[in-house]
Amino acid sequence: MHPGFAIGYGTALARLEDEVVLGGGTHFLLARNGRGKTTLLRTLARSHKPVAGHFDTVGFTQYLPEDLRFDPEIPAQTLFRMLLPKVQRAAALALAERLELDVRKPYGRLSTGNRRKTSLILAEYSVRPSGGNILLLDEPFSGLDVFARQAFEDLWRHSATTVLRLVSCHPDYDAMEMPSTLLIENGTLRYLHAANQSWSGLKKLL
C-alpha cells in the first residue's frame, strides 16, 4: 500500500501516511467498530474502490467476509467437493473431522461455529500449495471455541511461507501475540511491528 491510499465511502475513513509492504505470514487488523476494518478488506479484495491512492497485490487473493452464507440444504462435504481442488479435499475432510464438524449435516442445520469452520476450511484449502496466496479474513474466530481457533492458528503457522493472511479480529486475551499489525485509529492507517508486540499494548492505542 502506498502513501496517500485512503479507504471509505465518499469521504475517507482512514488514510495511509507511510508505505506498507506485507509478506507471507499472519498480519492482524485492529480498529474499533465502524472505523474501517471491513472496508479495508473489501478494498484490498477489489470489491470496493479506494477513496484515494492505490495499492498493489501479488498473488491469488481471497476475501472471507464475516457474513458469508451457503445454501442451507447443501452439506459441507458437497461444498468441499464442489469448491475445493481434488488434491486438497482429503486434508479438508481430515481437519473437519478433527474439529468435530459433521460434513453430512445440511449447512442450514449447523451451529454458528460450525458454519464458520466450514467457511474457513473452504478458504484455507482453496490456496495454491505452490505459494502466492493472499487471504483476507474478516472476524474468522467468530463463534469458534478455543480448540478450533488453535487448530487454525497451527495451520497458519505451518503455511506462513506460502500464504499472506490479513486477519480482522477482536482479541480476547491480553497475551495474544500480534507482532505484525495494521491499526486504524483517528482516521489514520498505520503499521506496527515488533517481535514482542501483543494485544495488551496495542489495545491502549485504540
Q: What are phi and psi of 90, to 5 degrees?
A: -60, -45
SS3 of 192, please?
A: strand
* pLDDT reading at 117 higher than 90: yes
Residues near 55 by Cβ (< 8 Å), separated by ≥ 6? 1, 2, 5, 43, 44
> Residue 131 and residue 196: Cα distance in Å, rounded?
27
Assign 156 a pLDDT band (cuts: 50, 70, 90): very high
Average pLDDT over residues 127-139: 92
pLDDT in tens, 33-49: 999 999 999 999 999 99
SS3 of 89, please?
A: helix
Domain spans in the chain, listed from the N-terminal domain onward: 6-70+130-205
What pTM value is reported for the model?
0.94
Residue 175 pLDDT: 86
Assign 189 a pLDDT band (cuts: 50, 70, 90): very high
Residues near 117 by Cβ (< 8 Å), separated by ≥ 6? 96, 99, 101, 144, 148
Average pLDDT over residues 164-172: 91
Residue 63 pLDDT: 97
> Residue 174 and residue 198: Cα distance in Å, rounded?
7
pLDDT in tens, 78-104: 999 999 999 999 999 999 999 999 999
Share of the chain above pLDDT 70, in %: 100
CATH of 6-70+130-205, one of 3.40.50.300, 1.10.760.10, 3.40.50.2000, 3.50.50.60: 3.40.50.300
